Every structure is written in structure tokens, then in C-alpha cells.
């Protein structure tokens, strides 16, 4: 079971062949930055889980732990001045990878007025218009047409950007996915559809509910090229998304990527994840994206365990500060209830 997935996920835990293509390729500083962002996401979400346990955060809280390489590898491959990110509800990782401030995100999780969405969005609705981060969307698959519309604007205005449209394996059977791919193709829209296959749509193994298990063929149905990417390797994700984004921009065309990944936690905080075996989870933790990247960097002599420890301490402080900021921030005024219903 897990073996199948590991094999599909491809790359061995530590690969010497991690060179990044393009101008920043192989650049040590860049690799450190990738690791930093992944670790920030990991530590931020661990702290969020803790705060959830303390009932500082309520409702649905979907953690991204295990999948960090996907958001980080991909978003580091685009330029948010002209490109866009449209994501689903497991959105903490994309928000941090887009450069949104951890303390403003933590405040949003706490429902405070200082949160990125002024405490009215919550975990599933992180937005940052200035950074072109268009959510944070809670209905499975409903963001896919929206992302496609953003790509329509890029093409209409001849802006030369690209949209990264994110969704999970659970969303791929929604009509919104199929309608969007068809239209993106007929209108030649610059968009990369990224199916982040973490293997479970909530508690359902995707192989139980999908007529095909190689999602790349879903793109082919609409004349859209597709390929599979190992989502546990941040450099591979970066390389593949960079190539896809460049092609989408240059040819003004949609591209489809299936990124194979795995979430360590349940679907949301209330899910004990009894639908999978401890062995399966352990096998994935052995190819942890942070460990892979760290080991690779240590092996190539650009990073040390001491560097990692220092980084860890740094993010502990960031998380402490985020929680302190969230705790001390005011609740929204009751008058906020009626604000922003209409423009």
C-alpha cells in the first residue's frame, strides 16, 4: 500500500541530484531559503495545533504538515508581482510561502481584529490581495473556476503572468474542475492546475473513489499536458513548477501537475485518521520533505546541524511572538459584524 505510493512519489529520501534549474539553480542561499520557509510552516502549524488544543482556535483547522515542500517549491518558482496563487482551505502553507506575516495569520486563527481577514475568515480564509494570494477557499473545488477567471484577466490584459491553482485529490471529481480545464484550454489561459494528491479526500483513499489513479490523464482529457511530481522533494517541485509556469506564460496555455504528497495529521484537527496504518504514516515520515532537504544540504556542505538548530530556535521565537501578538490583539468590535458585506 504505502510502497505503491512511495514508488510513485519517486525520488529516494536523499538525492544528490537536487540541482535547481534556472538562474537561482544550485544556489546555496536559495536552498537555505526553501528550507527556512518549510520549517517556518512546520513550526507555525505545530504551534497552531497546540493553540487549538488550548481552545484558542476553533472550528475547522486543516494542517499542512508533511506537504510543505509543495507550497514552498512551487511558490518560490513564481513572481507574485505578476503571478497569482488561488488555494483551497488547507491554506496556512501557501500563505506563509507567499510571505504573509506569521503573527497576522496567528491572529486570524485566534479570530482577532488584527488578523489578515480581520478575524472574519479564520483558518480556511487567509487572503492577501497585495501579494496576489486569493484565498483560502472553503468549498472543495469551488476555487478552480475562480482561479481560471483570474487567468482570463491575465490573458485579457496581456500581463504575462500565470496562476497557480491548487486543489486536492478530493476536488478532482468535482464538476468545477472539469468545466474549468475545458474552458482554460479553449480560451488558452495561463494557469497551472496543481492537484496536490495527499492520498486522502478527508478519510477516503483516492483509489477507492477514482476511476483512474494516474491523475495526469485528467489533464489529457482536455488536451492539457500533465505530469506527476514528487511532492516530498522541494527542489523537484520547484523545478517542475518553474518549467510549467514558464510554459504556461510563454504559450498562454494551461498545464496540469499532479504532485504526490502526504499529510501527517488528520484531515482536520478533529480527525484521528484511523483509515490508514501507522506503518504507512511512518514510511512517509522517513521521506519527510524537511529532512530530505536538510540532509541534502548538509551532504553538499552548505549547511550544518548547528545551522538547523539555530533556525529552529529562530522560528520558536517567531511562533512565540505570533501567539503573544494574537493573544494581545483586540477582538473585533461588534460593529465589524456589518462591515464589508457590500463594497
Binding positions for another protein, rule: CB under 8 A: 84, 86, 115-121, 125, 127-129, 134-139, 142-154, 156-157, 175-176, 179-180, 182-183, 186-187, 339-343
Q: 97 near 71, Cβ under 8 Å? A: yes
CB-CB neighbours of 83 under 10 Å = 23
Min CB(217)–another protein separation in Å: 20
The rounded distance, in Å, linking the Cα atoms of 17 and 235 is 9
Min CB(337)–another protein separation in Å: 10
In the bound state with another protein, the residue whose beta carbon lies nearer, of 115 and 170, is 115
Sequence-distant (≥ 6) Cβ neighbours of residue 208 within 8 angstroms: none
Q: 92 near 63, Cβ under 8 Å? A: yes
- Alpha carbon 279 to chain centroid distance? 25
Look at residues 228, 224, 220, 227 and name the one whose alpha carbon lies nearest to residue 251: 224
Min CB(272)–another protein separation in Å: 28
In the bound state with another protein, the residue whose beta carbon lies nearer, of 144 and 290, is 144
In the bound state with another protein, the residue whose beta carbon lies nearer, of 81 and 341, is 341
Min CB(317)–another protein separation in Å: 27
In the bound state with another protein, the residue whose beta carbon lies nearer, of 180 and 293, is 180
Nearest-10 Cα torsion for 256, 203, 102, 33: -50
Sequence-distant (≥ 6) Cβ neighbours of residue 210 within 8 angstroms: 169, 172, 173
- Alpha carbon 263 to chain centroid distance? 11
In the bound state with another protein, the residue whose beta carbon lies nearer, of 135 and 231, is 135
The rounded distance, in Å, linking the Cα atoms of 162 and 242 is 11
In the bound state with another protein, the residue whose beta carbon lies nearer, of 86 and 235, is 86
The rounded distance, in Å, linking the Cα atoms of 191 and 203 is 29
Min CB(122)–another protein separation in Å: 8
Min CB(121)–another protein separation in Å: 5
In the bound state with another protein, the residue whose beta carbon lies nearer, of 115 and 231, is 115
Sign of CA dihedral 289, 302, 235, 162: positive
Min CB(179)–another protein separation in Å: 3
The rounded distance, in Å, linking the Cα atoms of 39 and 41 is 5
3-state secondary structure of 213: coil
In the bound state with another protein, the residue whose beta carbon lies nearer, of 45 and 83, is 83
Residue 163: in which H helix or E strand, if any? strand 163-168
Sequence-distant (≥ 6) Cβ neighbours of residue 246 within 8 angstroms: none
In the bound state with another protein, the residue whose beta carbon lies nearer, of 183 and 281, is 183
Min CB(59)–another protein separation in Å: 13
Min CB(339)–another protein separation in Å: 7
Roughly how many angstroms between the first and final C-alpha of the chain, as a whole number? 51
Look at residues 222, 128, 245, 244 and name the one whose alpha carbon lies nearest to residue 172: 222
The rounded distance, in Å, linking the Cα atoms of 261 and 275 is 17
Amino acid at each position: 500500500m504505502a510502497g505503491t505510493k512511495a514508488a510513485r512519489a519517486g525520488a529516494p529520501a536523499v538525492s544528490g541530484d537536487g540541482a535547481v534549474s534556472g538562474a537561482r539553480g544550485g544556489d546555496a542561499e536559495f536552498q537555505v531559503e526553501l528550507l527556512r520557509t518549510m520549517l517556518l510552516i512546520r513550526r507555525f502549524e505545530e504551534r497552531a495545533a497546540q493553540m487549538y488544543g488550548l481552545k484558542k482556535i476553533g472550528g475547522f483547522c486543516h494542517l499542512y504538515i508533511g506537504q510543505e515542500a509543495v507550497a514552498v517549491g512551487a511558490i518560490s518558482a513564481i513572481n507574485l508581482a505578476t503571478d497569482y496563487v488561488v488555494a483551497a482551505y488547507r491554506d496556512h502553507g501557501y500563505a506563509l510561502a507567499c510571505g504573509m506575516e506569521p503573527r497576522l495569520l496567528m491572529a486570524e486563527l485566534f479570530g482577532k481584529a488584527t488578523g489578515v481577514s480581520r478575524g472574519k475568515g479564520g483558518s480556511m480564509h487567509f487572503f492577501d490581495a497585495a501579494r496576489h494570494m486569493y484565498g483560502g477557499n472553503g468549498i472543495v473545488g469551488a476555487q478552480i473556476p475562480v482561479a481560471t477567471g483570474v487567468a482570463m484577466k491575465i490573458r485579457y490584459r496581456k500581463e504575462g503572468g500565470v496562476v497557480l491553482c491548487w486543489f486536492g485529490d478530493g476536488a478532482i471529481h468535482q464538476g468545477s474542475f472539469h468545466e474549468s480545464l475545458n474552458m482554460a484550454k479553449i480560451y488558452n489561459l495561463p494557469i497551472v492546475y496543481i492537484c496536490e494528491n495527499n492520498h486522502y479526500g478527508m478519510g477516503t483513499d483516492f483509489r477507492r473513489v477514482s476511476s483512474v489513479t494516474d491523475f495526469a490523464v485528467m489533464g489529457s482529457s482536455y488536451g492539457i499536458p500533465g505530469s506527476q511530481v514528487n511532492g516530498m522533494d522541494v527542489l523537484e517541485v520547484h523545478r517542475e513548477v518553474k518549467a510549467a509556469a514558464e510554459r504556461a506564460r510563454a504559450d498562454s496555455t494551461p498545464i496540469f501537475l499532479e504532485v504526490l504528497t502526504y499529510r501527517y495529521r488528520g484531515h482536520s484537527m478533529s480527525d484521528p485518521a484511523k483509515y490508514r496504518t501507522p506503518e504507512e504514516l511512518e514510511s512517509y515520515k522517513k521521506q519527510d520533505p524537511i529532512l530530505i532537504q536538510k540532509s541534502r544540504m548538509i551532504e553538499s556542505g552548505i549547511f550544518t546541524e548547528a545551522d538547523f538548530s539555530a533556525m529552529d530556535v529562530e522560528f520558536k521565537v517567531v511562533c512565540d511572538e505570533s501567539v503573544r501578538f494574537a493573544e494581545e490583539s483586540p477582538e473585533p468590535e461588534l460593529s465589524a459584524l456589518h462591515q464589508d458585506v457590500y463594497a
